[in-house]
Structure 1
Amino acid sequence: MPILQSATALAAQIEQLYQQHSRQVLATLIRLLGDFDRAEDALQEAFSAALVQWPQTGVPASPVPWLISTGRFKAIDKLRQQQRFVSDGEVVLAQIASEEAGDSFALQMEQQWPDDYLRLVFTCCHPALSLEAQLALTLREVCGLTTEQIARAFLQTPSTIAQRIVRAKQKIKAAAIPYQVPPPQQLAPRLQAVHKVIYLLFNEGYSMPCQQSAPDDGMQQADLAQQAIDLARQLLVLHFDTESCGLLALLLLQHARRQARFTARGELILLADQQRQHWDQAMITEGIRHVETALSSGRIGAYAIQAAIAAVHSESPDSASTDWPQIHALYQLLYRLEPTPVVALNQLVAFSMCHGPAAALMQLAPLLADEHLAQYHLLFAVAADFHRQLGQNGEAINFYRQALALATTNADEQFLQQRLQDLAAK
């Protein structure tokens, strides 16, 4: 029998259910209702119904199936009321009303949740959509990021992202894009966008300590990173390939450092200064196992190389013993596959660890002139650090100020401000 709770405790539980399971509920509702907007309305209706009914009836033993079933029936009722005004009302109503209800409904939902989630990912990443639309829509609908979070990941305005998401939904509906995982022969070309979505999602969670998440983010940052890892695992189970394996390895090896990356006050700790005994050794072991599998399974991709770089760091007992020549060689290989300015910057940092900051500064000018890095605060932070190491404090201060003006997280801002204070005190 359901247990009645205080209003405060119940509201907190419903909020937790929303944060943890709303994307799961939405994915299944999209399958049942065949439409993004109907499913999103049904999701809100279901949680609204929970807020009204559960104080009287208690929380159901299986709250997620309850929410899905309630959302489905709310959608059916709404369609019946609006049937004459909706062009496809009769067809859709017949389709969604035919889904089996009753005692088997909860079991059926539990069995299909993982597939529903992946169906939604691949629908959002359909090749009929532009890559930018695929990424934005998946991050919004599958992962629950706000338009502001997505805009930050893409370095664009929230209004631009919102318009992109609306157009993507319209395209899916107009083109009747199927809600399904593609057959094996069509799967490989679709994986690139899915990999990028998972990686961007992880980076959003990895970029700051979870206590810095805004209360209205709808999801804690650490949960975003773990959600990306879970999605990468599901993808690898669905279809093994080198890049899926390398991606999972990369996320695991980076996430293994999560307890050592920030102070208790949320201040950023650089890799060289992290207490490595706080790294998650079980996660590192699993990540390295996936790296070895990826590197030995045939063609090596960009994620597998990045995972190999992370593995070199993870296997080093301390910063001083890091095999920087190997890391630099791996970045050179990565640049051949992905000749981007960001990879070039990372390669230059590894080069500086091998040959010193003075030699690295001689190669920095082209990156400082690259318009693609003009808003990338880490470029200016790297330039500042090269000058700082050489005792060129005036130049370092100027570059740190440029980096601070472009920083996007509180942790980065705090770190850069501390660097400026340290230099000003000299």
Structure 2
Amino acid sequence: MAKTMPPSPFAPATLPRLDPIAGVCFSTAEAGIRYQGRTDLMVAVLAEDTAVAGVFTQSKTASAPVLTCRKHLKKGEARVLVVNSGNANAFTGKKGKEAVDITVDAAAKAGDCARHEVFVASTGVIGEPLEAEKFAHLLEGLVKDAAPDAFEPAARAIMTTDTYPKMATRKALIGDVEVTLNGFCKGAGMIAPDMATMLCFIFTDAHIAAKPLQALLSEHVETTFNAMTVDGDTSTSDTCLIFATGDASARGQEPITKAGSKKLKEFSAALHDLMQDLAIQVAKDGEGLSKFVTFIVEGAESEKAARKIALSCANSPILKTAIAGEDPNWGRVVMAVGKSGEAADRDKLSIWFGDHCVARDGERSAEYDEAIAASYMKGREIVIRIDVGVGKATSHVWTCDLTHDYVSINADYRS
């Protein structure tokens, strides 16, 4: 089993307080799936008529839980969410689907709901069969005992190599009715989201139908979770789900049934802010990290091109190790820009480390000072800005450095 690592240097001194949301209850258990002496099974019980939207990994080797969630999502209805940690139930063949079916059947019975109203997610080791029969019998009790004030235990139960639970909360008005959004996610390694993050679950008491909820989630994932990477490896299990219980309608909120409604403007902004908060928290808990890094690309042909260039930098091992070594090696930035395959004018390329211009118009900057740049690199949070000189589009990506500890964590992951 992977060695326990010290907390991320960005772990919060205190965790945010997430108020209960009407129509959402949680329960957790020590099921012994892989970990001993800690919870590894989480159940969320949702009110009748809860709407759901989701985005998932685009991996061609997606896990059995992802395939099931995609199928169930077509109905847009949810009553129970079951999540386990320690085993990803991915690359497990027919046994993987059987494990999901066992879980869904037990959860549907416990929650007195239809099978399509059950959503499942798994995270952990790939390729090991998940023995769902060893924990499915727990679901009846977990559903019965679920409590509303249990966001933190739920967030802890889904952790793998995370060093702290990642949670966030926001408020928003829909009309003159205040609604709450709470979310938590897990992820520290094998992070290069492609439509989602490792596992992320968002809950709100807003009354929003599945279609407008899906439109918002799909829109905001692009500039939040898809603008974050730890190591360039997209998981088989990426799952991001948002559940809307509709309880706010009892307080006078007018139900939102159409995508693009102007009444969702403030809710949309709050959802984006919450997702961005969680995405940054994942990058700030990257396995073995010592620094949080933001790449900002300007002067690109399109936003898509700018994002690709930023990801090329953020996923470059040789550049990330230079940052870990506190080396202001702007030559590695030049390399990463060039290998992206997107347009860049070599003779107009300019690079800043923080406020310090290290390269301007295709060569080392006249004002470059090695001592000043090296001093900047000793900071915990690093911003590298790049102007590629071919257009006006910009984008950003959050990431972390690459240290010896990352290698140790992943070398020991199954041992």
Q: With the length of structure 1 as denominator, give the TM-score of the two structures.
A: 0.31
Select the structure of larger CA radius of gyration: 1
Q: With the length of structure 2 as denominator, give the TM-score of the two structures.
A: 0.31
Q: Which has the higher helix share?
A: 1
User: Bigger relative contact order, structure 1 or 2, given CA contacts below 8 A and separation 6+?
Assistant: 2
